[in-house]
Each structure stands twice: as structure tokens, then as C-alpha cells.
Chain A
Amino acid sequence: MGDIMFEKNHLLCVYNYLKINMLNPDHEKAGFSSNAHYYYMLYLIDSSGQVEREIISSNYYDQYKIALNCGRRYIGPFKDLEELQGFAAKICEKVNALKVFVLSSQNLSQYLDESVDLSELVDKIITTGESFTNDGTTDAKNSFLRKIFK
């Protein structure tokens, strides 16, 4: 078995398209309707565990001007996949992660089905999954290196 794993400063996001009966009047004001499916993040994890709820809540409020109110774990709703991905990239910046890998429950299930061990699974996520790089971190790193080699 190989031994490829994620880097310490990688962030992993797993989402699904769900109908959750948690919408309140605030949600409706923000354009969400109660009987519809939306995108929700199920997991947003880095090497220290789930990203802190406070960071997520405040950024969610910035994006939709409503409170995050969908249970203990989930993050959402998001109107479309692009908005969810944008949010993941924003959190990636906030927690200073290098990269966020964003994948659906269905994709994850498929990768799990095809993998024998964790390194194979990680390899599939890294090579075929969707990811967003935190340019800020890369720039900061580059400029730091540029200063050293000046």
C-alpha cells in the first residue's frame, strides 16, 4: 500500500444536495424557499478537526445576511454549487489553508467504492476531485521565498 495522505494545511469539504426542513422566515427573506433542495456542506475539516463553528457562522452571515441555522453539523443552505464552492474557498483563506478539496457525497462514495485503502482514496480525491487554491497563501509563501533569495 502506498502512503499518500493530505497535507496538514489542506482542507476537505464534502457536500450534498438536500431538502432540510429547517428554513425559517429569515431564510425566505434571503430567497430560500421551504420546500426546495439546496446544497449543504456536511463536513469541512482540516487537520485540527471540524473548522470552528464561529468562523463558519460569521462568514455565512457575511454571504447571506442570515444566521446559520441548520443543525449541529451541516453548513448551508447554499443556492447553487458555485456559491458553496465560493464559500469553501473563502473559509480556506480565513483558516489560512493552502487548498480546499470540494467533493460531493456521491463522488466520495464512488471513490470509496473504487479504493482499497486510504492512500488510494486520497490519491483519487487529489487527482480527480475539484480543488481551490488559496492564492493568498501561495503569494505569501512566494513573496517570503523571494525575500530570502533576493
Chain B
Amino acid sequence: MHISNDHTNDNEIIFPGDNWFFYWKTSSALWRDKIAGFDSSKIVVPINWAFHTDNGEDFDFHHDKPETDLKRLEEIAREASKKLVFFVPISPAPFLVGGGLPHILSRIPSISREGIQTVVPEANGRINKIYSFYDQRVFNAYRKFMRALGKFFSKNEMTSNLWAIECGFIQDEQFVSFFEDYSKAQQETFERFLTIKKQAKENDQNGESAKPHSSLSEEELLQHEFVMDVKQLYIETIKEFFPINYEGLVKIAFLGTATDDLFFKMLDAERQNKYSKDILFCLTMNIIPSSILLPANLKKGIIEKQFKDLVSSSYLSIILGDNMYDMSDDTSFLPLTNFYLCHKNLMDYSQKYFWEEIGLYKYLKENFNWAYKINDSYSQTATMDESYLANKIYFYNGLDIFTTEYYHILKMFMNGGKIVVDNSSLDMNILKRFEGFFIENSITMEMINTTTRISVGSLGEGRLVFFDGTLIKSLDEGKKINFWSEIISTFDLVNVKINSEQGVDYLWKTRTPMKNELKFEEVRRVYFYNPTSYKKRVKLNWAKNFALLKINEEINSKVQHEHNQSVIDFLPMGSVSMDFGVFY
């Protein structure tokens, strides 16, 4: 078997997609023409550390190579009425050789959680080897570079926004960061971290400090703390040296860079289907998907359509908190999320999701495709606005409820939020505090017998449901699904039932009604994609709260209406979207 060479042209090398601009890939003499000719008003400029230094000590920002002059780049962009956004990696970056380290620092190969050297298969077949960011020399050199770059920004009064980016990929519906590394360098630094922790513990007069209440083992907790601490060092470095420009941290998943992509490329396997799912998964996890490292042929067609519909049009502007990409009248749609599954430790492939074990994940996947978000962090503070909490259900694993989460849950409940809590592994003190809260506020807990017994507290629109996760785990798959079907049906969520053949992906978005749509509470759009090479069919049952408004862009697809349902027939790579007015 033979692989075709990637036919990427020069312009695609400079502008690899997603509005990114690789300034080091072209002569600065051409910047003006290239930027003026680019059709978007916003341009993402990732910083290439290795391009600005040979030895890690001396830095070039305009002296030797004119292509290193970022101030000039910013001026050219301004003159062309374009805005630059700088991306600075805090992890190995798969779009840069060696992950972005200057050659002299590329010493210790990064190792994946599976014990395999971390590499990125490039579109042209070359193997890009990634090096560890845990090497102490790397961090010291990184600080030096950021200090120099920060000085350059402030001295030249550069005003463009700057984001720290954590690069990674999606594998098995998990974001795997290129920061994750099990190399010798990581182990040595971890040993030093443990020694410091041990000393701190010995110096602590109280002696033993209790193990934090968590679903993770002590070793996992320490590893997790260590990784977060080191990552934070990189983030703080950027914050410190770019006090004016720094906007925050975003995670970016580069399609085509996962470990299994390496094998898929060697086996010439079909991947469009996988990338289509990866894009939708990113949307559920607040991760920016990027197509810049996909071969030119894979960037076209259905993947290109998904980026246009779901990523470029509005998603990036939401994540970056700025009108990052050119807006059209379609862009006021936001992804519809009905379910928030709070879960810690998404890092380990050998662990099953708690939500998977109790059947909720499967139930939501089958019935509310991509209308759920899995939060691996509790730091995200949900808005307590009542309209925001409407039509949303928050799920908590008892093991992961600390004091902060306890107060957060109560706040949501009192503001009309709907929360479902596994109480089988809830800390006794937290359980008592919940009971105390109900007694103080004269809230009666209603006991309901479904597949198992659940208890429900209500306060206005707010609902707090407790269930026994251990019992649910022991049920067979069918009973687990029935249990969740019963529970979810009690929340009266407004939705349309979709019967989709396997392989078709769909995602709902929502927006507030416009002037001529005021009879509706909201307007929803459902996007369908068939990334497979087969014909597919989808049936959409009409619901009483939904009125079909319009059908958009039937590409390789046909929508027909039958009694009480719409039937959509897709050819390979077909797509379509439909708008509905929704009244409650």
C-alpha cells in the first residue's frame, strides 16, 4: 500500500487554516501582501520560540532575521485593518519542530502515558518528535525567552491580545495534553517535588495532614498536584511578562496528532468520521479544535463544513471572549447544553468514567447527542442566573463533593437549578450538612421508588435529587438506561427525539428569538453531518413545542416530511441544518 503525498501549496503552509499565520514560513518582505490578501480581519499568530534563538540565551526580535520582528508584523496588520492575536504555547506544540523547543534544549524525548515516545505524524509523512517540558533547563530557558519577548512587547508598546495555549489531542473522548509526559525528566522533577513535600510535612508541627477527600489515590493526587503546579509555573511566567497583553489560557486539540493517528496513517485508515466526532467533543469540553495539522484532502468537505458551522462562526469568539472571527447573522447561535457531568481524573485510560459505569453517559449519548458537557474542573463557576439554569441538569459524583461544591450546589438549587447527586460515596459530614440545610429551610425530602429509591428536595423551580450510585452500578445495562430515562423524564426537558443511523453526527445550537420570532421562547438549530462513505438516514420526530422554521444548506442530503416526522436521507459527506422555533 502507498500513501499519497500531501499536496499542500505555499499559501497553505503560511496560512495552515483556522486563521493561523506562520510568520516564520515566509519572507517578511511578503507579509504585507499576504496579510492584506487574507480574507479574515483577525489573524492568529503562534509564537515560535526556537525561531527567535539558537542557543537559548540570545534572542532575535528584529536584529538578524527580519522575520522575527513581531512589532513590524503588528504594524502591517494594523495598516491592513486586521487584528492580531498571539498564541504562546505553555506545552509542547505539535505544529513546531520538536514541539517548539530550541534545538539545543531538545534532549529528553517526551513519553506518553502508554510508555510510547510522543511523536506527531505530519501531513507529509514525516515524524515530528516531541521533547519534554519538564527538564529544568527547559523551564529556565523558557523564562528567559518570555522575559525577553515581554520586554520587546512593552518597549514597542504592542497592544495585541496574547493567549497562553495548552496543546493536545482528542483520544477516546479525552483531551490529552502534550504537557502530559512520563519521561525521565518528568520522573526526576517529580522526585524533587516529593522530597520538598516530604520536608514540608516534616516541618509541619501538626505532623500528619489528612489525605484530601477524593476519588483519587494518594499517588494520583500527588501526580496531579505536581503536573498542575508545573503547568502553573509556565502560565505564571506568561502572566508575569505580559501583564497588559495576557488574556487567559485556552486548550487547543489538534486533529490528526493523537497516538492512534500514527497507526491510522500507517494503516491508511478512514479518519474523517473520527475527526467529525472529535470536533463535536471539543465543543462539549470548551476546547478549541484545530484543523491546521490535517492533510489538505482531509481539511476539505465535511470537516471544513463543521469548522465553518460550529467552530469559526461563533465558538472561537465565545471561548476567546472576543469577536475573534468574522460574524454573520448565523453566529448568535450557541451550543445547546442540557447536562453538565462533573467528573475528576479524566487523565487515565485505565479508569472508567463514573458516569459511564452507572449508565448515564451511554443514555445521554444515545438520547441527547452532544448536549452534555463533562467538566473536569469545579473551578468553572456557573452563572446563577435563572434563565441560564433553566433546561439544564447538573450531575455530581458524591466522592468529588467538597465544601466548595456543597455551597455551589446549594446556591444553584436556591436559584432554581436542577442537580442530581450520587450519595453513595458522599462524605458523611457533607451529607449531614445537606440534611441540616433541608431541616432549617423546612424542605421535605420526597422518597420516590423508581428502579431504585431516590430522594428529591424541591424549592420553587429548584430540584435536588439524591440517588445511590453503588446500587445503580450493580444493575444490568438495560436497567441502568431505564433508571436514567425515568429520572430525566421527570425534569420535563424540551427536546426533539432523533433516530439516527450510526455514523451520522448531530449537534444542537440555540439562540434568543429575534423581533419577528417573539412568539417563541428560543430558536434552535440542529446540524447534521454524515462523515461516512455510506448513505444514511435520520428520522426526526416532531414535538409539540417545536415549529419548523427553515431548512438550511442541503448538501448531499434531502429532507422530506412524513406524518409527524421529518426524514433526512444523506449521501456520503452530506450535511444539512434545520431551524425550529421553541415554545415552552
Interface residues of A (CB under 8 A from B): 1, 3-8, 10, 12, 14, 16, 20-22, 42-43, 45-50, 70-74, 105-106, 108-109, 112-113, 115-119, 121-122
B117 contacts A113, CB within 8 Å?
Answer: yes
Interface string of B332-352 (1 = CB under 8 A from A): 000000000000000011111
Q: Give the distance to chain A from B125, nearest Cβ to Cβ, in Å.
A: 5
Q: List 9 A-B contacts (CB under 8 A).
A: A8-B267, A21-B217, A42-B116, A45-B263, A45-B269, A46-B269, A49-B264, A74-B349, A112-B127
Alpha-carbon distance A20/B348, docked complex (angstroms): 11
Partner of A112, one of B5, B116, B274: B116
Q: A3-B2, A5-B266, A122-B266 are in contact. Are A116 and B127 (CB under 8 A)?
A: yes
A74 contacts B350, CB within 8 Å?
Answer: yes
Interface residues of B in 350-377 (CB under 8 A from A): 350-352, 356
Q: Give the distance to chain A from B184, nearest Cβ to Cβ, in Å.
A: 12
The stretch that binds A, out of B16-24, B107-115, B309-317, B493-501, is B107-115
Interface residues of B in 1-55 (CB under 8 A from A): 1-3, 5
- For A119, the chain B residues whose CB sits under 8 A away are 3, 125
B350 contacts A121, CB within 8 Å?
Answer: no
Alpha-carbon distance A117/B403, docked complex (angstroms): 52
Chain A residue with Cβ nearest B111: A109
Alpha-carbon distance A4/B268, docked complex (angstroms): 11
- For B2, the chain A residues whose CB sits under 8 A away are 3-5
- For A8, the chain B residues whose CB sits under 8 A away are 1, 267-268
Known: A72-B349, A112-B127, A117-B127. 12 other contacts (CB 8 A): A1-B126, A8-B1, A21-B217, A70-B350, A73-B172, A112-B117, A112-B129, A113-B117, A118-B121, A118-B266, A119-B3, A119-B125
Alpha-carbon distance A74/B348, docked complex (angstroms): 11
Please tell me if B260 contacts chain A, counting CB pairs below 8 Å. Answer: yes
Alpha-carbon distance A113/B109, docked complex (angstroms): 9
- For B259, the chain A residues whose CB sits under 8 A away are 43
A12 contacts B266, CB within 8 Å?
Answer: yes
Q: Which 8 A-B pairs have the closest CB atoms?
A: A105-B115, A109-B117, A71-B350, A5-B1, A3-B2, A47-B267, A117-B125, A118-B125
- For B172, the chain A residues whose CB sits under 8 A away are 72-73
Alpha-carbon distance A43/B116, docked complex (angstroms): 12
- For A109, the chain B residues whose CB sits under 8 A away are 109, 111, 115-117
A118 contacts B265, CB within 8 Å?
Answer: yes
Chain A residue with Cβ nearest B119: A112
A6 contacts B350, CB within 8 Å?
Answer: no
Q: A6-B267, A8-B268, A108-B116 are in contact. Are A118 and B127 (CB under 8 A)?
A: yes
Please tell me if B270 contacts chain A, counting CB pairs below 8 Å. Answer: yes
Q: Give the distance to chain B from A139, nearest Cβ to Cβ, in Å.
A: 23
- For B124, the chain A residues whose CB sits under 8 A away are 1, 117
- For A108, the chain B residues whose CB sits under 8 A away are 116-117
Alpha-carbon distance A109/B266, docked complex (angstroms): 15
Interface residues of B in 302-333 (CB under 8 A from A): none
Q: A1-B125, A5-B3, A109-B111 are in contact. Are A46 and B267 (CB under 8 A)?
A: yes
Chain B residues with a Cβ closer than 8 Å to the other chain, count: 37
B267 contacts A105, CB within 8 Å?
Answer: no
Alpha-carbon distance A118/B352, docked complex (angstroms): 32
Chain A residue with Cβ nearest B270: A48
- For A47, the chain B residues whose CB sits under 8 A away are 267-270
- For A5, the chain B residues whose CB sits under 8 A away are 1-3, 265-268
A7 contacts B1, CB within 8 Å?
Answer: yes
- For B129, the chain A residues whose CB sits under 8 A away are 112-113
Q: A12-B263, A113-B129 are in contact. Are A3 and B3 (CB under 8 A)?
A: yes
- For B121, the chain A residues whose CB sits under 8 A away are 118
Interface string of B121-149 (1 = CB under 8 A from A): 10011110100000000000000000000
- For A118, the chain B residues whose CB sits under 8 A away are 3, 121, 125-127, 262, 265-266
- For A72, the chain B residues whose CB sits under 8 A away are 172, 349, 352, 356
Partner of A105, one of B114, B126, B264: B114
Q: Give the distance to chain A from B474, nearest Cβ to Cβ, in Å.
A: 13
Alpha-carbon distance A47/B3, docked complex (angstroms): 13
Partner of B349, one of A50, A73, A121: A73
Interface string of B236-273 (1 = CB under 8 A from A): 00000000000000000000000110111111111000
- For A122, the chain B residues whose CB sits under 8 A away are 266
Alpha-carbon distance A122/B129, docked complex (angstroms): 16
Chain B residue with Cβ nearest A44: B263
- For B270, the chain A residues whose CB sits under 8 A away are 47-49
- For A4, the chain B residues whose CB sits under 8 A away are 2
Chain A residue with Cβ nearest B349: A73
- For B265, the chain A residues whose CB sits under 8 A away are 5, 118
Chain B residue with Cβ nearest A1: B125
Q: Give the distance to chain B from A35, nearest Cβ to Cβ, in Å.
A: 13
Q: Give the distance to chain A from B115, nearest Cβ to Cβ, in Å.
A: 4
- For B5, the chain A residues whose CB sits under 8 A away are 3
Partner of A45, one of B1, B126, B267: B267
Alpha-carbon distance A112/B114, docked complex (angstroms): 14
Partner of B267, one of A12, A42, A73, A115: A12
Alpha-carbon distance A117/B259, docked complex (angstroms): 15
A115 contacts B349, CB within 8 Å?
Answer: no
- For A43, the chain B residues whose CB sits under 8 A away are 259-260, 263
Q: Give the distance to chain A from B293, nearest Cβ to Cβ, in Å.
A: 14
Alpha-carbon distance A115/B172, docked complex (angstroms): 27
Alpha-carbon distance A3/B260, docked complex (angstroms): 19
A71 contacts B351, CB within 8 Å?
Answer: yes
